[in-house]
Structure 1
Amino acid sequence: MKLLRVGPPGEERPAVLDDAGRPRDLRGVLGQGVDFDGDFFASGRIERVAIALRAGELPPLDEDAAPGTTEGRVGAPIARPGKVVCVGLNYRDHAEETGASIPGEPIIFMKAPNTVVGPEDEVLIPRGSVKTDWEVELGVVIGRTARYLGTHEEALACVAGYAVSNDVSEREFQLERGGQWDKGKSCETFNPLGPWLVTADEVPDPQSLGLRLWVNGEARQDGSTANMIFGVAEIVRYLSQFMVLEPGDLINTGTPAGVALGMPGQPYLVKGDVVELEIDGLGRQRQTVGQA
């Protein structure tokens, strides 16, 4: 299934796409006030949605709330996650382009949960920034509590689904200002997510997905999750040794080569730029860059 949330910020309605790509309203089957959050994934309601979709019981989303209308903004496919955990330098070609050593264990940092915005929301360059960068990434949403997992099979069983994620980064804040990477990763609007969450059953092999990104129509990134240093299963297993992953948490799994940081001239984002990105089977994003 493809789960999405439609509506103005803070007022999104949960929906699911039917086989024709039309959004179907879930309020009747889930009730008022239910959202795609940790409680939703932990409660097993996702199976209720699947049954109702197969039975043809879901009405179309109201016309005034359909994507493409003023009220039909597509938000992030999950409500604010409890935490956003990120993996750095997880593609060999990206590590090489930035002059970094290939890590022996996953490099982990956190990103503020309130960075998560919709896939077509404006990305804001922070005040004082001259090095705002793009990163197309496979986002992994946790569907059940994960702690001290022993195998990759256990790890994948904890995944609710996958989404396109743009791990926007400010490189000066991240690398030149001392301390942790987090402050270069946690500026407002720095994590567009979506357009939808594709449930794990529709992604049998998360290590065979193409990722692409363009800036102003010019190709910048073109990679594959097959080139991850640490695959999705190992990332989830590894993280569970150090923290409890909870339903609704988001993991950003790293980016392939082609970021501004690693390019000649380092063409960082400026106001008015348009960033587009996609992952095979997971949809496409488009953001216009603004100024905070």
Structure 2
Amino acid sequence: MLRLYSLLAACFCAAASPAAPEVTWQQLSPGLALGEYRPTVKSDIGDSKITILRINPRQYSFRLLESVRYKGKARTAAQWCQQEKLLACINAGMYQPDGRSVGYMRDHQSINNASLGNDNSILVFNPADSLRPAIKLIDRSCETDWAQQLRAYHSASQSIRMVDCQGRNTWAAQPKRWSSAVWAMDQDGNALMIFCRSPYSMHDYVDILLQSPLKISQAMYLEGGPEASLSIRSGQTVRNLFGSYETGFVENDNSQAAFPLPNVIGIVKK
């Protein structure tokens, strides 16, 4: 009788528990999928929707575009996509008032910022030889050969580590919150462009991403607040997403126009 009661109780609990949210995927083309995820932890502003572009690096190439090489003219993410014929683009990282990157950034012979800051994540792509992964997030805290790896890639952008190489949340808890653009890699080797307009504290947001079905292995912060942007132009699918809320800067969800961005990472079909 006790065993029967336990089984019935377990069945009742399973039936009463809400199903975990899933990612809704739309296949845009082979190796490219657009996902939407609505976490159980809601922001009190906006719809809490997280948009993900999943990219198979074997089928798409990555480009680092900088305004310093385009007569210093920043563009919105949508304008970068349209003018450079990109399928999608996202912030390349935080930037200084003159448009140069806050962290280390280079693309082939173009040196945007030659100084390596303290941040532990460096996104590298366009390898010098075909034996290396097409794109990788280097974690300076756990990869002793990170400098050698950095030299083996033509393109690099440094920013704040969100998830380390052990899959752990590295962002300290704090009350400030904002819209966000994030780069991540999943356990299958796909690259993920991730955008959320609704504001979260980044510590809580990392937990949300790690608990999602996205199978995130590493993640790097790109930008927050109204500057955070993701633009997608693939076939008939067009998305031009940009942030709004940022504690101490724009404390509302009223932004109606995208910020011009000096540096973006875009993708094109191989």
Q: Judge same fold: TM > 0.5, yes or no.
A: no
Q: TM-score, normalised by structure 1?
A: 0.22
Relative to its length, the structure with more strand (as a share) is 2
Q: TM-score, normalised by structure 2?
A: 0.23
